[in-house]
Chain A
Amino acid sequence: MNKLININNVSTGYKNSNETKVVGRDISTSLHRGELVCLLGANGAGKSTLMRSMCGFLPTLGGEILLNDMNVERLSDKILAKQVAVVLTDKVLTDNITVEELVGYGRSPYTGFLGKLNKEDNNIVTRSIEQCGILDKKDRQVHSLSDGERQKVMIAKALAQDTPIILLDEPTAFLDLPTRVDVMQLLRELASKGKSILMSTHDLDLALQLADKIWLMNGDGSFEHGTPEDLLIDNAIQNIFNKDKVAFDPKTGAFQVNHKYKFQIDVHGDGFGVLLLQRALSRKGIEVNITSRKSDLYIAVDDYIKPTFTVHFLGEKLEQFHKMEHLVAKVQTMLARELVQQ
Chain B
Amino acid sequence: MTENSSISNGIPFTTKVIGLILLLIILFLGNLILGSVHIPLPETLKVLLGQSIEHRSWELIILRTRLPQAIVALSAGMALGVAGLFMQTLFHNPLAGPSVLGISSGASLGVGFVVMVAGQVFGLSFSTIGFWGDFSVVIASMLGALGILMLILFISRKIGGTLPVLIMGVMVGYLSNSIVGILKFYSLEEDVHNYVIWGLGSFSRLSLTSALNFGFVTVGISLLTIFLSKPLNLISLGDRYAKNLGLNIKRARFVIIMTAGILTAVVTSFCGPIIFIGMAVPHMAKMLIKTSNHIKLIIMAGVLGAATALLCSILARMPGLDNALPINSVTAFVGAPVVISVIWKRRKQ
- Are B240 and A100 neighbours in the complex by a CB distance under 8 Å? no
Assess the A108–B234 pair: CB atoms within 8 A.
Answer: yes
Closest residue on chain B to residue A115 by CB atoms: B230
Q: How far is the CA of A92 from the CA of B5 in the complex (A)?
A: 19
Interface residues as binary, B75-109 with A (CB distance below 8 Å gives 1, 0 otherwise): 00000000000000000100000000000000000
Of the listed stretches B59-67, B165-173, B285-293, chain A binds B285-293
Q: Is the CB of A113 within 8 A of B227?
A: yes
Rounded to whole Å, the gap between the CB of B253 and the closest CB of chain A is 13
Cβ-defined contact, B241 with A86, below 8 A:
yes
A88 CA to B246 CA, complexed, in Å: 15
How many of chain A's residues touch chain B, expressed as a range? 35 or more
Q: Which residues of A lie under 8 Å from residue B233 when comparing CB positions? A: 105, 108, 115
Task: Give the chain A neighbours of B286 by CB distance below 8 A.
Answer: 95-96
Query: Contact partner of B241 among A84, A90, A115, CB < 8 A?
Result: A90
Q: Does A106 contact B (CB under 8 A)?
A: yes
A106-B245, A114-B227 are contacts. A94–B5 as well, Cβ < 8 Å? no
- List the A residue with the shortest CB-CB distance to B287: A96
Determine whether the beta carbon of B244 is less than 8 Å from that of A85: yes
Query: Closest approach, in angstroms, between the C-beta of B233 and any C-beta of chain A?
Result: 6
Q: Mark B219-252, 1 if CB is under 8 A from A, else 0.
A: 0000000110110011011101101111111000
Asked whether any CB of chain A lies closer than 8 Å to the CB of B1, the reply is yes
Residues from chain B with Cβ under 8 Å of A57 in the complex: 240, 243
Say if the beta carbon of B295 comes within 8 Å of chain A.
yes
Q: Which B residues are CB-close (under 8 A) to A55? A: 244
A161 at the interface (CB under 8 A from B): yes
Contacts of A104 in B (CB 8 A): 1
Minimal Cβ-Cβ distance residue in A for B248: A77
Q: With the chains together, A115 CA to B241 CA distance in Å?
A: 16
Q: How far is the CA of A101 from the CA of B297 in the complex (A)?
A: 14
A80 within 8 A of B: yes
Cβ of A156 within 8 Å of any chain B Cβ, yes or no, is no
For A84, the chain B residues whose CB sits under 8 A away are 244
Asked whether A93 is an interface residue with its Cβ less than 8 Å from the other chain, the reply is yes
B271 vs chain A, min Cβ distance (A): 30
Query: Of B92, B229, B244, which contacts A115 at CB under 8 A?
Result: B229
The closest CB in chain B to the CB of A121 belongs to B1
Asked whether, in the complex, the Cβ of A161 is within 8 Å of the Cβ of B291, the reply is no
Cα of A115 to Cα of B248 in the assembled complex, Å = 15
Q: Which listed residue (B227, B237, B245, B293) contacts A92, Cβ 8 A?
A: B237
The docked-state distance in angstroms from the alpha carbon of A114 to that of B229 is 7
How far apart sit A139 and B7, CA to CA, in the bound complex (Å)?
10
* One of B4, B241, B245, B292 near A95 (C-beta < 8 A): B292
B5, A139: Cβ atoms closer than 8 Å = yes
- Across the interface, do A88 and B241 meet the contact criterion of CB distance under 8 Å? yes
Q: How far is the CB of B304 from chain A (nearest CB, A)?
A: 15
Closest CB of chain A to B31's CB: distance in Å?
32
Q: In whole angstroms, what is the CA distance A115 to B233 when docked?
A: 9
A80 in contact with B246 given A88-B241, A98-B5, A117-B1 (CB within 8 Å): yes
A257-299 to B contact mask, C-beta < 8 Å, 1/0: 0000000000000000000000000000000000000000000
Cα separation A101 to B292 with both chains bound (whole Å): 8
Chain B residue numbers with a CB within 8 Å of A141 are 290
Q: Are B291 and A96 in touch, CB under 8 angstroms?
A: yes
Say yes or no: B240 contacts A81, CB within 8 Å.
Answer: no
B92 touches A111 (CB 8 A): no
B246 pairs with A86, CB closer than 8 A: no
Residues in B with CB closer than 8 Å to A85 are 244
Compute how far the CA of A248 lies from the CA of B12 in the bound complex, rounded to whole angstroms: 59
Cβ of A150 < 8 Å from any Cβ of B?
no
Interface members, chain B 242-300 (any A CB < 8 Å) = 243-249, 286, 289-293, 295
Docked-complex contact B234 and A105, CB < 8 angstroms: yes
Asked if residues B227 and A105 are in contact (CB atoms below 8 Å), the reply is no
- In the bound complex, what is the Cα–Cα distance between A94 and B94 (angstroms)? 11
Contact with B along A53-90 (1 / 0, CB 8 A): 00111000000000000000000111011101110101
Whether B244 contacts A114 by the Cβ 8 Å rule is no
Contact with B along A95-132 (1 / 0, CB 8 A): 11110111011101101011101000010000000000
Contacts A95-B292, A114-B229, A139-B5 given; does A90 touch B238 at CB 8 Å: yes
Q: How far is the CA of A93 from the CA of B242 in the complex (A)?
A: 13
Given A88-B241, A101-B1, 4 further pairs, Cβ under 8 A? A93-B92, A101-B292, A105-B233, A108-B245
18 contacts between A and B (CB under 8 A): A56-B243, A76-B248, A81-B245, A81-B246, A82-B246, A84-B244, A86-B244, A90-B238, A91-B238, A94-B237, A98-B291, A101-B1, A108-B230, A108-B233, A109-B245, A114-B295, A122-B1, A139-B5
In the A-B complex, the 10 residue pairs with the smallest Cβ-Cβ separation, listed nearest first, are: A81-B246, A115-B230, A97-B292, A109-B246, A108-B245, A94-B236, A96-B290, A78-B246, A86-B244, A94-B292
